[in-house]
Amino acid sequence: MTDELRVALDRRNPTGAVLFTKGYINNVGGEEIANRAYELMDDGVRSLLLNLRETKIVNSIGISILIEIIEKMIDKGGKIGFCCLTPVIHKTFQIMGLANYASIYTDEETALREMGL
Amino acid sequence: MTDELRVALDRRNPTGAVLFTKGYINNVGGEEIANRAYELMDDGVRSLLLNLRETKIVNSIGISILIEIIEKMIDKGGKIGFCCLTPVIHKTFQIMGLANYASIYTDEETALREMGL
Amino acid sequence: MTATAERQMELTLPMIPDIEIAAARAAGNLARELGMASESIDEMAHAMIEACINAREHSGSADKRIYVKIAGASLSEGNSRIDIWISDRGRGFDVTEARTRRQKLGSVHKRGWGLQIIEAHMDEVSIETSTDGTTIHMVKYGRRSE
Amino acid sequence: MTATAERQMELTLPMIPDIEIAAARAAGNLARELGMASESIDEMAHAMIEACINAREHSGSADKRIYVKIAGASLSEGNSRIDIWISDRGRGFDVTEARTRRQKLGSVHKRGWGLQIIEAHMDEVSIETSTDGTTIHMVKYGRRSE
Ligand SMILES: Nc1ncnc2c1ncn2[C@@H]1O[C@H](COP(=O)(O)OP(=O)(O)O)[C@@H](O)[C@H]1O
Ligand SMILES: Nc1ncnc2c1ncn2[C@@H]1O[C@H](COP(=O)(O)OP(=O)(O)O)[C@@H](O)[C@H]1O
């Protein structure tokens, strides 16, 4: 019933990576993404794309954890991007102001190019 | 809430493998295990251990799919073993008669030894 | 044995995939508060799962809901008792006929184990069923977990 | 616009993790039967998720249940309307105070977006809250999916 979150990694280069998410981004799902993101940041990644293609449901607690990831990355001088959001998730990101801190791309190809990945 | 099923593989040798399950073995979870098991059987595996250490919940539909896997393996002259069942799952296996077709081991070490894996 | 504490919960659940887990988890929380041992809770959970699946898969109910009632009581000496009713407003079934069908199949059948699993995991089970629907009433006695 | 078909569903759900998905899925099934477009259904689902999480996380209700009522109507020209009530029997809250707190924080706050998300995704929202609990009533209008 829940669509438990799963994360997959595409490590593009020493400073860049893509994380693919599948399932519900709630508190548990958000923490899972954060753990993977912080591991990558510790390992030198400064350009991180989150591809949410297979995530159809989010909640505001999960998104607040994504905001924390963005803040930590900005502190390190890096950047976070998002791509492949459903219309409703895109709208939720806009309400919660994520577009102010992170770039949102419609498709992965554009995201990879613009982020130099 | 659901504990969606995940399967991990340890391919021991050309004819032997271990599948580790995590989460709820319902119809969907059972099918997931069956797909992985049939792939392995097509690839020559005849001795397959299912380690259910991280599965805490099952239902009778999921177990009935496990029985189908056992039958297919017996048809091919191979064998299926199970290990690391919770007491309730063990009891359910006994009720449904799995012990008549497959070996049930308490721990993985014994299972690997007895199955020659 | 006299009851010293009573807990009750009624749920109305939609017939969607995996909703049986919500029923089992709610009952498990209540049973834990009464101090029931985790293995007994786990048996009760697996019985509830089968009963909810039967309601969803077989009842053909128009309202697509499962009605769950859970009543728990602490008895003396750390013992407890949980009563569970799982109901649907579906077409009902012939329990004797279902049991006979099962026996005819012997032990080779793959499906048709739900009621047997319920009976094995619970201490008391009774089924009331008619063309207005089915209620399965199950009782689990628990000893305090150590 | 006159209503031509009515569907209704009441659920009583336990306050367990992810139970919001059961509420959203039940409403989604009903909305789909009324022909609501999938993007509207998805918005409604996300609003319901936030309302259920608020009941679970903030209400402090003793009965640990979420009461959900869903009423759907097919209107003329393939349009539809879904009314949703999500209630808890918790302590209630001061809506004005919650709104003021949010405004004081400006746009930098991480938490505290639930009500705003609900309002953005639904067409009408009203909240009734007292020390006996909270009910949020939300309405979504839908056009037939093509
Ligand atoms: N709630 C119910 N409503 C209608 N029929 C039911 C219900 N529960 C059980 N049955 C009938 O009893 C039969 C036996 O059920 P069960 O032992 O759980 O096995 P299975 O569900 O695998 O068939 C079912 O196949 C069904 O015909
Ligand atoms: N059902 C409820 N019961 C009690 N308080 C509530 C309820 N719903 C909302 N609140 C209060 O309103 C505040 C704002 O809610 P919301 O906008 O959803 O943000 P968040 O849940 O992230 O704090 C909550 O922090 C809580 O104090």
Which has the closest alpha carbon to A81: A92, A91, A93?
A93
Cβ contact, residue pair B1, A3, below 8 Å: no
**Contact between residue C105 and residue B64 where contact means Cβ atoms under 8 Å apart:** no
Any bridge partners for residue A50, and if so which? A19, A82
D4 pLDDT above the threshold of 50: yes
Which has the closest alpha carbon to C65: C10, C6, C118, C2?
C10
pLDDT in tens, A11-24: 999 999 999 999 99
SS (H, E, C) chain A: CCCCCEEEEEEEECCEEEEEEECCECHHHHHHHHHHHHHHHHCCCCEEEEEEEECCCECHHHHHHHHHHHHHHHHCCCEEEEECCCHHHHHHHHHCCHHHCCEEECCHHHHHHHCCC
**Neighbouring residues of D74: CB distance < 8 A, sequence distance ≥ 6:** D3, D4, D5, D34, D35, D80
Q: What is the ipTM of this complex?
A: 0.88
Among C6, C61, C65, which would you mutate to test the D interface (most chain D Cβ atoms within 10 Å of its Cβ)? C65
Cα separations (Å) of A117 from A48, A112, C73, D140? 9, 5, 61, 41
**Average pLDDT of every residue of chain C:** 91
**Contact between residue C60 and residue C90 where contact means Cβ atoms under 8 Å apart:** yes
**Neighbouring residues of D64: CB distance < 8 A, sequence distance ≥ 6:** C9, C29, D14, D15
Q: Which of C14, C26, C64 minimises the CB distance to D16?
A: C26
**Contact between residue D36 and residue D82 where contact means Cβ atoms under 8 Å apart:** yes
Query: Could you say which residues from 19 to 48 on chain A have a Cβ atom under 8 Å away from some Cβ of chain B?
Result: 23
Reported confidence tier of residue D1, pLDDT bands at 50, 70, 90: very low
Q: Counting Cβ atoms within 10 Å, is residue C36 exposed (0-12), middle (13-18) or buried (19+)?
A: buried
Structure tokens at A21: 């998410």
Which has the closest alpha carbon to A62: D66, C101, D49, D107?
D49
C104 pLDDT above the threshold of 80: no
Contacts of A26 in chain D (CB under 8 A): 17-18
pLDDT in tens, A23-41: 999 999 999 999 999 999 9
The ligand 2 atom nearest the CA atom of D55: 1
Cβ contact, residue pair C19, A2, below 8 Å: no
Among C105, C117, C119, C122, which would you mutate to test the B interface (most chain B Cβ atoms within 10 Å of its Cβ)? C117
Least confident of A67-76, B46-55, C4-13, D84-93: C4-13
**Contact between residue A84 and residue A19 where contact means Cβ atoms under 8 Å apart:** no
pLDDT in tens, B81-102: 999 999 999 999 999 999 888 9
Contacts of C9 in chain D (CB under 8 A): 14, 63-65
Least confident of C105-119, D83-97, D132-146: C105-119
Question: Which pTM value belongs to this model?
Answer: 0.90
Encode B70-84: b = buried (16+ Cβ within 10 Å), e = exposed.
Answer: beebeeeebbbbbbb
pLDDT in tens, C36-85: 999 999 999 999 999 999 999 999 999 999 999 999 999 888 899 999 99
The ligand 2 atom nearest the CA atom of D54: 8
**Contact between residue C44 and residue C84 where contact means Cβ atoms under 8 Å apart:** yes
